[in-house]
Amino acid sequence: MRTMSAQNITESHNQQESTSGVNPKKFLLWLFIVAIIMLFAAFTSGYIVRRAEGNWMKFPLPTSMWINTIIILISSIPMIWAYRSAKQNELSKVKTGLIVTFILGLLFMGGQMVTFYDLVEMGVYFSGSNVAGSFLIIIAFAHAIHIIAGLIWLLIVLAQAFHGKVNSNNILNINLCNTYWHFIGILWVYLILFFYIYR
């Protein structure tokens, strides 16, 4: 009985994906993304409804939130670079791109901790008597959890890269990680614009 090489198996899998439709892992990721969208849509809808009822504290957004937005947007650049490098089998660039993305993700998380501190200094905190602040903190915290998930995924892909398992014949995981990372970045941009408009 003949055995297929790993490359032939991968090529066969890629051909099957292109002819049979979306890869199951991609489908699951998009289902997860839709679930996240619905979650934050519920959060922001509840925010708008409660705000319309009155007794709503208005406050400016901390500067740190805008700085964090710039950081998360910049982090998409090395992520794209890593993904494109993987398609071209440039492993050293893949590692560099993933490491830079991970560091920027950590900076974003550190910036969010500064934001929570700034909010407390402004008198905005989680409290039953401070509904506006409670909504903002819950939504920002929920987003931070998804950032942490992205950071863990980055570490997994980075470990695969160091073992030579990220290349043009094994592109799926970094492709999915790339999609997820850009999504949570776009989600944050939506959230900060939402908070700015509906303060």
- The set of long-range contacts for 111-118, using a CB threshold of 8 Å and a minimum separation of 24, is 111/64, 111/67, 111/68, 111/71, 112/68, 112/140, 112/144, 112/147, 114/62, 114/64, 115/62, 115/64, 115/65, 115/68, 115/140, 116/140, 118/62, 118/63, 118/64
Predicted structure pTM score = 0.86
Q: How confident is the model at residue 5 (pLDDT cuts 50, 70, 90)?
A: very low
Predicted confidence (pLDDT) per residue in 63-97, tens digit: 999 999 999 999 999 999 999 999 999 999 999 99
